[in-house]
Structure 1
C-alpha cells in the first residue's frame, strides 16, 4: 500500500524503533565497554561497566546515543551504573550465548522489554521483564519481571522491525515443536513473538522445519533488511533461512557446511547491506578431565569466515579472513557500519581488545579484518557481545557521497554542498532539517546551514528496500569558521656569529603567534605559498629546522582538524645577534638531610639576578632554563627545577627573550654552585663533675677542619665565640655559619657526673668457693664512665682498673675496691670488702710459713663474732678458735696432734655456716 506524504513525514520523524544511535553504548565481558560517536562513528572504550559476564549481555541507548541501561540477563544497571530497583533475579544467564535483548515498546518511548533466555544448564526458557526508564527519578525501574513465554528454549534470541506502519517488532527464538527441551530434544521450531502498541502478543508464530539441531549454544541473527535469518549451533552446524517480516515465518533452511576442521560455528553477523554473512567457528576444545588445559591458548583455534549470500553456491563462496589461537568469538554490527569480534584467548581468560571487519559490504579479504582494532583499557572482552534489533543497522542511502562511510559532514563557513539521494524515476523526495519539512522535493538538496538532514523516497510502484518500507538517508551537516592565521616573525638566537644568521629553529614556537592553538587545530609549515594552500610538502621536522638564509620566509597553514577548513600566513625567521655571558649563580647551601652536593634546585629565583646583570627591565624579560644546549635552542623540555648530577657544581643553559618583541636575546651557560655545609661534629655528649663546681669546662662548635675564623657562631644562650666555658649540666646548641650563609647546627649535651655512690647492698660476694667473685653495684645509670680496681689489705694492687664491675677468681682475704670516674676525672671512691675462706693445709714446724691455721677474710670490720670449731676425723672437738686470734698451732693440751685431716665448722656473724676440712702436715 502506498504511503501518504503526511504518513511518510510522521514515519521518519516519529519512528523510535529505527535508530542506530540506540546501539551507541555496549557493555560486555569483564567490565568492558565501548561508545560510538553518533556523528563520526569513532569508538572509545568505557571503563565504568559493572557486568562481568562470560557470554550473555545486552544494552540500549536513547535516540541521541545516551545510555539508558544494560544487563547480563540477570541484573539490570541504569545509566549511573547502579542496580535498578527490582533489577535483580532476571531469568537469563551470563553463560547463555544471547542471555538478553532489549526491545522498545512501540509508541511508548519510556517503556522497554528485556527478553531473556537461560543457558542449557538452567533451562529457564524465554521470559520478558518491563523497564520504565522514567521511573525512579528518571534512572529507571524494573516494573514487571520474568513473564514466561516458553518453558525451555535454546540460548538464542534475535529481533527485527516488522513494518513501519504498525511499528511492531518481531522477537524470535529456537525451541522444540513442543517447547520442552531435554538432552535428546531436537531443536526444530522457531517461535516469533510480535511486540506492538498493546504489548507482547503471547501467541507466537511457529515455524517447524526439517532440521536437526541438538546444541543450544551459538548466535541467532536476523539480517538488517529483515529478510534472512542465520543460526549458528556449536555442534549442529550453521543454517541460513528466509524470514518473512510481514508474517514472522521462517522458511527455506539451508545447511552451510564449513570447509575447515574448526567446524563449530558460534558467532554470526550480516553485512549492513544484508548480502554477506560472517561466521566465527572454532575447534571447541574443552577438557573435562583436566580443566587446566582449557586455559592454554594454543589448545583453542578460531577462524573468521565470509559467505556471499548472492552467490549461486553459497557454501563454496566461503573465504577465511582470519585464523588464530582463540576461543569462541561473537560478531556484532556497529552503528558505524563495521562488524566487531569479541576476543577470548581461553575458556576463562579474556583479552583487552576487539577485532573489527572494517568494510563488511565488500567481498573477500578487502573486507579488511583488523585484529585487536579496539583497545579496552584494563578490562577484557570475553565470548559475548550485546545483540540489538537488526533494523538498527539497515543500510541507508548515502546522500553525502564523499567516499566516507559516516553520515557526518563538516563544512567551512560560506561553503555550499549538495546532498544527493538515489535517483528513482517518478519518486517523491521528502527532505527535512532538524525534523522540519523543507520545500525541496527533488533528489538533491543544496545545504548552507548546519543541521540534521533526512530524506525519505516514496518510489513509484511502492519499491520496498528496507524493513521500514521506504528508502531513506540522513546526514549531519556542521559548518565551521575558518581558523585564524596571522603573519608572524620568529626570532632565534645565533650561537655562532660566524654563521651569518644561520641557526636552528623550533618552528612550533610560532604556533601561538600564528593562531589560537587548540586541540582541534593543526599548524604546518611550508617553503612555498602554493604548498601551504595545497597542504603538501610540509616541513617534516619543524622542531629542528635550520634556516637557509637570514630572514627566510616560510608559509604556515592553520587547519581545523575536523572540518579541514584552513588559512595560510607568512612566517619570517629572524636571527638575533646579541649575546649573554656565562652566568655563575649565587651559591646555594647543600641539603641538611643529605649533604652530598646533589640538590633539587629551584631555578626561578635566578631570573631577577640574570635580569639585573643584563640591565634589562625585569618586566620585559623572559628567562627559561634547559638541561642542554639543543633544548635551549629549540625551546624544548623547559625546566623549572633541576636535581644536579655533578656534586656541588652543574652547568645548565639559560635562554633570554624579550617579551615586548619576542626576541631571543641570547643563550649561554649558567653554573649552579652548591656550597658545602660546615664540617662539624653535630652531636656530642660530655660530662661535668658536680663535685668540682664552680670550676668550668670548655665546649666548642666542633669544627673538624678549616679555620675557625671562616665562620660565625651563634650559641642558643647568646654567646658568639667558637669556644665557651660552662659549669652547669644541660643542652648547649650552636649554629655554625659560613661566609655564604650556609649553616649547620651542633648540639652538646652536658650530663651531670659525680664520684660513685654505691647501691644497697653495694656488692655481691661469692666466697667459700672454688671461684670466689665480687660484683660491685653503683647507683649511676652511666656505669660506662667508671672503672674498678681491687687492692689487698696492704693497699697493694690486686687487680688493676678495669671496665667490668665483676672480679673473679679472688683469694680469700680483706680488700678495698676503688671506683674511679674516668670521663671527667671526678675522683675515686673506695669500698672495703671481705672474701671469707680457709687454707687447705698448714705446717706447724716453726719455719714461719703456714705455722698456724686460721679462717681468712675475718677482721674487726668483717664478721668479728664468728665462731670457729675444729674436730678430728672422729668428730671430737679439738679446738675453738677466736676469729681475730693467731690461729691453731696443731697442739692439744700442749701435745702435738698427728698429721691428718681435720674438720671445722664456722658460723659467721651474718649467720652463714660453712663446714669443710683441712690437712695438718709436718
Structure 2
C-alpha cells in the first residue's frame, strides 16, 4: 500500500504540472485515478455519534428510535465531554478531557491525565485518523485560568497556568481491542501561535473546538479560536499537521475577563461551508463580563481559512450554538443579562437569507407551553444523528437537568418549530442528570444521508425486519456513478445501486458520482427478528355464567398465552374473531380478558407477535371448549368467636374442600376461591392473600369455588354458603366481693333469666357444672357455656375480690381557721367512701377522704365499704372555732361568746381569757362552762372589739378577736 500511496502522490504532482490545473479540478482527476489503485474506507458515518455521555453520569443512545437514556456512564463533568462509536453505532470510548473510559466503562489503559478541563466548554473532541482504522486523535483544550496573584476568577492578566490546546493518540488495537492512549503520544502541545506577546504565549486557549471534513473527503479540519484569530489544523492519514491555517478576522475578545469571555461553543456546518461562534462576554473591566456576541463566518474547507464575519447578536450571554443538518438554520442559547440569572432563551437564524438580513431573522423559539423565556441556564445544543437538535436544561436550583430539550424539526421556520422541553428523560433513577455541556462531534457526521431504506426519513436508519424475509436497500441508478456496499464496515462484492438483505447487520452504501464531489452515504442498521411459531391451543371453561347448560360462558383468552407462545416471554398475543382479521391485525377482539363465546368449541384466532418487532408474527387457533363437569355446593358454619361478635368472622375456606369434591374421583383437582362467578371464570381476583375469608355477614354469605385440572382447565364451579353462628347470650364478665366476715359467696354463670339449662353445657374452672357455685377464696372463676344446638361456646370470667369493713386509723383535723378541714385515714381491704354529719345532717358519701369548710363544733364522720361489707364505721370529732361576734340583746340569738368544739369531755382542761382593747382581763372561762355574757362586774360592756387567748388542753395557744354588738 505504501508503494501505491507514493505512486499516487507523484502522479498527482505531475498532473498538476502538466495541465496547470487548479486544486478543484485536480481533485476530480485525483479521485478517479486514485480509485483505480485502491479503495480507502469512508471517513465517517452517523453511527460514530450514536452514543452520548455527558453531565452527571448521564447519556443517551441513538441506536434506538427514539433515543433512550444510558445509565452506565462514568463521566461527571459540568461542561466538556466527547464520545466516539464505530460506524455501526457500537461505543468505542469517551472522555471528559482528563480521563478516558473504554467501551466497558473502565478507565482506558494510560487514559488518565489528559490536559482538558471539566469546566472547559469543549474540553475534548475525538477525530479518527483517516485511513488508519484503529487510530483516533483526542484534542483537548484547557480552561483559561485566572491570575493566582489576585485570585480574581474574571481576570486574565497574571501568572495563572494554562495547558492550552493539545492532542493525544488512542490506538484501539491495543489492550485486547479495548484501546489505549499510546505511550509517548499523549498531551502533545500545539505550539504554533505568534508568541510576540508574552502573555498570549501562556494562555493559548478559548475553550472552543469543532471539526469538519475537508473538501478532499479524506481529511478533517480541527478548528479553535483565541482572542482575534482562528486556528485550523489539518488531520489526514499522516496524523495532525501541527502548523495551522490561521485566519485573523473579525472581533477581538479582550483578555481582560477572558476566563468568562472564552465561554461558549464553536460549530462548523455539516457541509463545511459555515462557522458559528458564541462568545459569552466582552469584558472591558477588571472583573465580570459584558454582553456577548454570536458571530457567523464563511469557512473554506479546501484551504481552512475563515472569512466574512457577520454579527448576529451583541446582547445577553450566548453559550450554545448549532447548525441544522442542511446548514440552512442556526440556533443559539442565551443567558438573560450579562451574568445570567437562571433564565435563558433559544434563538433561530435563517441562513438562507442574504448576509445582511440574517441577523434580523433572529427569532425566539417557543416551547410546548408557548413560552420563550425558560427557567434554566443556556446550556449546550447539539445536532443528533436523527437530524434533531438536543439541548441541556440545567436547573440552577437542583444543580442538574432531568431532561434534554428537543427541537423536533430544526429545518422549519421559527414559527413552525416544535420544541419539547421534556424530549428525552436522562435522569431515570434520580442519580444522574444533564449539566451544561453535550459532547461535540465531527460536524460532517451529521451531513444529510441518502435514503437507502426508502422510508422517507434518511435520518431514521434503524430497520426492523423479520427472519426469513428479504428486504431491498437501494438508491437511484445514476449513470456514471459507482456504488460500493459495506456490511458491518466490510466491503462486499456488490457494485449495483441495490442490495437484497436477509441478515442482521449494519449496511452502508457509498455512491461516488465521479464528478469530484465527496461520496453520498446511506446507512441502514438492519435487525432481523425471529418470527414466532404460534401453537394452536384449547381453553376449557366451566358453564357457570348466567344460564347453566347453554354452553355460553366467559373466557380470558390470555390464559392461552403460554400455550400459544411456548412460554417465550418475548412474544405477546392479540386475538381476532376470524382469520382475515388476524391476518390484517384489525379489528381485534375488544374484550380479550372476558370474551363471551357463542357456541361450544368455537374457534378464535391468535396473532403471536415478537415484541421486538410487531411485524413478525404467526397465527394459530384457540378452541373454546365448555366443560360439562361439575362440583358440589358446600356450606361452612363458623362461630362468631373472633372477639367482636359483630356478625363478621374468619373462615378457613379450605375446610369446604372435602364437601366440594365429595364423590368426585378426579385426584388432580385444585380448588381456588373467588368473590363471584365472573372472577372465577376469568381467574381474576382470587382470595389468595390467606386461606381465610374475613368479611361475612351475620346469617349467610356466598363465595365460589373453582376446581381446575392440572393443566389449568376448569372442571367445575360451585357456591359455598357461609354462616356466622352467634355465641350463647350470656352476661359479660363481672366482679363479686367476699367480705372478711363471710365464708363464701354465690356466683353465677350469667345465663339469661328463665333460660332452659338443658340447652347448654356449663363448665366452671373449678370443674363444677351448675349454674351457680360458691366461691370461698378471692380470684378469677371462669365458666364456659356451650350451646347444645350450635356447638358454639362463650366464656365468662367472674372475679372474686376480698373486701372488709373499714378501720379508722386516725383523723387529721386542721381547725381554728377560716377553712377547717377534716381528713379521715381509713384502713382495710375494701374500697371506701366517706361522709360527715354536721348538726344532724349527713352529707353525701364521697371518694375523697377530706372535707373542707367544716364549721366548728361537734360532728360525726362515717366510712363505708363500697363493696357492701358492713357495718359502717363512724367516729365523733370536734372542730375548734371562734365566733366572730355575739349580740347579748335578749333576743335569744348569740347571747354569749365561747370557744366552740371543746367541752368538759373534750379538752375539758382548756382555759379561755377575754381582754378589752386596752389589754385588761375582763373574763376567764373553763371549757364546758357558759360563755361570756358581755358584762364586767355586773355592768354591760360597750359594743367594741375584744381579744381572747385560749390555752387548749392539747398544748395549743390560740389568740384572736371578736366583736360585741349591741
Change (3 A) 1:165 1:314: closer
Q: Distance in 2 between matches of 1:758 and 1:311?
A: 117
| CA spacing shift, 1:653–1:746, aligned 2, 3 Å | closer
Per the alignment, residue 331 of structure 2 pairs with: 279
- Matching residue of 1:520: 570
* 1:46-125 equivalent positions in 2, closer than 5 A: 56=79, 58=81, 60=83, 63=86, 65=90, 93=119, 98=121, 100-103=123-126, 115=141, 117=143, 122=154
Higher strand share: 1
Secondary structure of residue in 2 paired with 1:543: helix
The match for 1:833 among 869, 874, 877 is 877
Matched, 1:620 2:691: no
Equivalent residue number for residue 490 of structure 1: 539
Say yes or no: does 1:810 pair with 2:854.
Answer: yes
Separation of aligned partners in 2, 1:316 and 1:904: 115
1:20 aligned counterpart, secondary structure: helix
Q: 1:881 to 1:483 in 2, by over 3 A?
A: same
Which residue of 819, 831, 835 corresponds with 2:863? 819
Q: In the alignment, which residue of structure 2 is the partner of 1:35?
A: 60
What SS class does the counterpart of residue 523 from structure 1 fall into?
A: strand
The reply to whether residue 775 of structure 1 matches residue 800 of structure 2 is no
SS at match of 2:612: coil
CA–CA distance in 2 between the matches of 1:70 and 1:727? 93
What are the Cα deviations for residues 845-866 of structure 1, in whole angstroms up to 9, with x where unaligned?
Answer: 9999989865433357753443
Alpha-carbon distance in structure 2 between the residues aligned to 1:311 and 1:843:
126
What SS does the corresponding residue of 1:210 show, helix, strand or coil? coil
Change (3 A) 1:248 1:842: closer
Instruction: Give 1:765 shift.
Output: 2.1
**Contact conserved, 2:292 with 2:316, CA < 8 A, in 1?**
no
Match of 2:609 among 556, 559, 562: 559
8 A contact 1:899–1:921 mirrored in 2: no
1:911 aligns with 2:964: no
Say if 1:800 and 1:701 are closer, same or farther in 2 by CA, change over 3 A: closer
Classify 1:222/1:827 alpha carbon distance in 2 versus 1 (closer, same or farther; 3 Å): farther
Q: Do the aligned residues in 2 keep the contact of 1:159 with 1:222 (CA within 8 Å)?
A: yes
Aligned-pair CA distance for 1:883: 3.3
For residues 714 and 865 of structure 1, what CA distance do their matches in structure 2 show? 68
Deviation by residue 1:41-99 (Cα, 9 ceiling, x = unmatched) = 3433467989999x84635366565596676x999999999999999998554xx8x46
Shift of 1:912: 1.8
TM-score normalised to the size of structure 1? 0.73
The answer to whether 1:20 aligns with 2:47 is: yes
Decide whether the 8 Å contact of 1:126 with 1:148 is kept in 2. no
SS at match of 1:692: coil
5 Å matches for 1:837-856? 837-838=881-882, 855-856=899-900
For the structure 1 residues 597 and 432, does the alpha-carbon distance in structure 2 shift closer, same or farther, using more than 3 Å as the test?
farther
Q: After superposition, what is the alpha-carbon deviation per residue over 1:233-271, rounded to whole angstroms, capped at 9, x for unaligned?
A: 68776544343456543234456699xxx9997654334
- Equivalent of residue 813 in structure 2, options 765, 773, 794: 765
Shift of 1:231: 3.3
Q: What is the rounded CA distance, in whole Å, between the counterparts of 2:841 and 2:661 in structure 1?
A: 78
1:694-773 to structure 2, matched below 5 A, reads: 694-696=743-745, 698=747, 725-730=774-779, 752-757=802-807, 762-773=810-821
Q: Is the 8 A contact 1:731 1:747 kept in 2?
A: yes
Q: Structure 1 residues 699, 153: closer, same or farther in 2, change over 3 A?
A: farther
Contact 1:158/1:388 (<8 A) preserved: no
Distance 2:81 2:508 in 1: 29
Count of matched residue pairs: 867
Query: In structure 1, how many angstroms separate the alpha carbons of the residues matched to 2:360 and 2:761?
Result: 98
CA distance in 2, matches of 1:831, 1:145: 111
TM-score, structure 2 as length reference: 0.70
301, 314, 322: which one aligns with 1:269: 322
Q: How far off its partner does 1:820 sit?
A: 1.0
Distance 1:484 1:609, change over 3 A: farther
In the TM superposition, residue 325 of structure 1 has moved relative to its aligned partner by 0.3
Maintained 8 Å contact 2:701/2:722: yes
Which is further off, 828-837 or 302-311?
A: 302-311
Distance 1:62 1:452 in 2: 13
Q: 1:113 to 1:175 in 2, by over 3 A?
A: closer
CA distance in 1, matches of 2:427, 2:321: 26
User: Paired residue for 1:180?
Assistant: none
SS of aligned partner of 1:565? strand
SS in 2 for 1:512: helix
More displaced, 473-482 or 701-710?
701-710
Runs of 5+ unmatched residues, structure 2: 1-29, 147-152, 157-161, 192-199, 255-260, 281-290
Match of 1:250 among 306, 327, 337: 306
- Per-residue CA deviations over 1:166-221 (Å, capped at 9, x if unaligned) read 998655344422xxxxxxxxxxx334457899999887543222358898676432
